[in-house]
A = this chain, B = another copy of it.
Amino acid sequence: MDDPTPTPGSPSAPGTKPTIRDIARASGVSVATVSRVTHDDPRVTRATKERVQEAIDRLGYRPSALGRALSYRRTNTLGIVLPGLGGPYFAALIEGAESVAVERGVAINVLGTHLRPDAAASVRQLAERTDGLIIAGGTLPATELAALASAGRVVLVAGDHESIPTVAVDGRTAAAELTAHLIEIHGHRRLRFVGEPAGSPDTAARYEGFTDALAAHDLVEAGEPLRLGLDVRSGGLAARELHDAGVLPDALVCANDELAIGLLATLPGLGHRIPRDVAITGFDDHALAEIASPRLTTVHQPIEDLGARAAAYALADDGGLPQRTVLPTRLVIRESCGCTETDASAPPQEADR
């Protein structure tokens, strides 16, 4: 009573957000009781609870996530590190992770490194404010990954590291099967890979599968891989480059669907019919793959599942995570490889693994 406040419920300063102590003062209880009310603790009397709740509503109090996080020693936040947000692949990955995050009340924090040189510093900063990190393969050097993993929970997606749990797909085998299909079913002999194997572990695996299949059939690659980005525009570039070079290979195995779609859209304008003059395959099973003409033969990847699984691991309470989790892919035979629509409906083509 030695401090005569005009309205007992007013927060310390008018412009400021009320804190738990403001609520305590306003409702004449201690901070512990306020905290109990916000946690629905059964130990607090109905009458007290109502009084506190009234003050909370009146002053518009919301517990600070920061204060909570500090006290709990966990942030309820999951970090995802990607090279960038472009393209449907990463969007699907994020949505997969998000689906498991929301059901646990965990927020998602996305960081695009964009190959920035200071990416490692940003990731470390991110690690400081998250409970776990999902990192896309190829975004950070192995030593940096090791450092992050030693400080907290890290899960790799579509990458590989000797000691960090990884969720991936067997892109190598899938690419080998796809390539074998082109060779065995369609009799193609001169194949070429489109994509930069050094660009990402995913592309590298696909390229390895491609050369595996070539080697298994005693073929040599029809030229170096066309080292390009993974976007539609690069597909257009590839088309022009191939056209200018004169004779085209029998088939082009593209590192992803967007590249393939760029080729699909550009080659006919340059006088090359698909699949008659050149067969084309993609990877990912993009929404456009089914709609492109000709419809794109590709490999379906459960990208959202990858994200979901990675998130589940990153948020798991117990240790003992499997070192490597491999999710199945599915060959999707459509027309761009040379199959006709009736072929495509035949069961043996859709090999599940």
Q: Which residues of chain B have C-beta atoms less than 8 A from A77's C-beta?
A: 109, 129
Q: Which residues of chain B have C-beta atoms less than 8 A from A236's C-beta?
A: 291
- B233, A262: Cβ atoms closer than 8 Å: no
A316 at the interface (CB under 8 A from B): no
- A128, B62: Cβ atoms closer than 8 Å: yes
Which of B66, B112, B262, B292 interacts with A265 by CB under 8 Å? B292
Question: Roughly how many angstroms separate A268 CA and B126 CA in the complex, as a whole number?
Answer: 48
A26 at the interface (CB under 8 A from B): no
The closest CB in chain B to the CB of A128 belongs to B65
The interface bits of chain A over 187-226 (1 if a CB of B lies within 8 angstroms of the residue's CB, else 0) are 0000000000000000000000000000000000000000
Contact residues of A between 75 and 98, Cβ < 8 Å to B: 75, 77, 84-88, 90-91, 94-95, 98
A142 at the interface (CB under 8 A from B): no
Q: Which residues of chain B have C-beta atoms less than 8 A from A94's C-beta?
A: 85, 110, 112
- A291, B262: Cβ atoms closer than 8 Å: yes
A180 at the interface (CB under 8 A from B): no
Q: Which residues of chain B have C-beta atoms less than 8 A from A261's C-beta?
A: 288
- A91, B86: Cβ atoms closer than 8 Å: yes
- A65-B129, A265-B292 known; A84 vs B95 contact (CB < 8 Å): yes
Q: Which residues of chain B have C-beta atoms less than 8 A from A288's C-beta?
A: 232, 261, 265, 288
Q: Which residues of chain B have C-beta atoms less than 8 A from A321's C-beta?
A: none
Question: Roughly how many angstroms separate A251 CA and B280 CA in the complex, as a whole number?
Answer: 32
A53 at the interface (CB under 8 A from B): no
Q: How far is the CB of A193 from chain B (nearest CB, A)?
A: 21
Which of B64, B122, B262 interacts with A128 by CB under 8 Å? B64
Q: Which residues of chain B have C-beta atoms less than 8 A from A135's C-beta?
A: none
A231 at the interface (CB under 8 A from B): yes
A245 at the interface (CB under 8 A from B): no
Which of B66, B91, B110, B124 interacts with A66 by CB under 8 Å? B66
Question: Roughly how many angstroms separate A235 CA and B288 CA in the complex, as a whole number?
Answer: 11
Contact residues of A between 278 and 329, Cβ < 8 Å to B: 287-288, 291-293
Q: Which residues of chain B have C-beta atoms less than 8 A from A69's C-beta?
A: 66, 129
Q: How far is the CB of A23 from chain B (nearest CB, A)?
A: 15
- B287, A265: Cβ atoms closer than 8 Å: no
Question: Roughly how many angstroms separate A128 CA and B112 CA in the complex, as a whole number?
Answer: 23
Contact residues of A between 139 and 176, Cβ < 8 Å to B: 151
Q: How far is the CB of A229 from chain B (nearest CB, A)?
A: 11
- B122, A111: Cβ atoms closer than 8 Å: no
The closest CB in chain B to the CB of A112 belongs to B98
Contact residues of A between 50 and 78, Cβ < 8 Å to B: 60, 62-67, 69-70, 75, 77
Which of B66, B70, B126 interacts with A107 by CB under 8 Å? B126
Q: How far is the CB of A248 from chain B (nearest CB, A)?
A: 19
Which of B88, B151, B265, B291 interacts with A60 by CB under 8 Å? B151
Beyond A65-B128, A107-B109, 4 additional contacts (C-beta under 8 Å) are A64-B70, A77-B109, A94-B110, A107-B122
Q: List 23 A-B contacts (CB under 8 A).
A: A60-B151, A62-B124, A62-B151, A64-B128, A65-B128, A66-B69, A77-B109, A77-B129, A85-B85, A91-B91, A94-B110, A98-B114, A102-B122, A107-B109, A107-B126, A107-B129, A108-B109, A108-B110, A232-B287, A232-B288, A266-B291, A268-B293, A288-B288
